[in-house]
Chain A
Amino acid sequence: DGGITQSPKYLFRKEGQNVTLSCEQNLNHDAMYWYRQDPGQGLRLIYYSQIVNDFQKGDIAEGYSVSREKKESFPLTVTSAQKNPTAFYLCASSRFGQGEDGYTFGSGTRLTVV
Chain B
Amino acid sequence: AQTVTQSQPEMSVQEAETVTLSCTYDTSESNYYLFWYKQPPSRQMILVIRQEAYKQQNATENRFSVNFQKAAKSFSLKISDSQLGDTAMYFCAFMKYNNNDMRFGAGTRLTVKP
Say whether A associates with B.
Answer: no
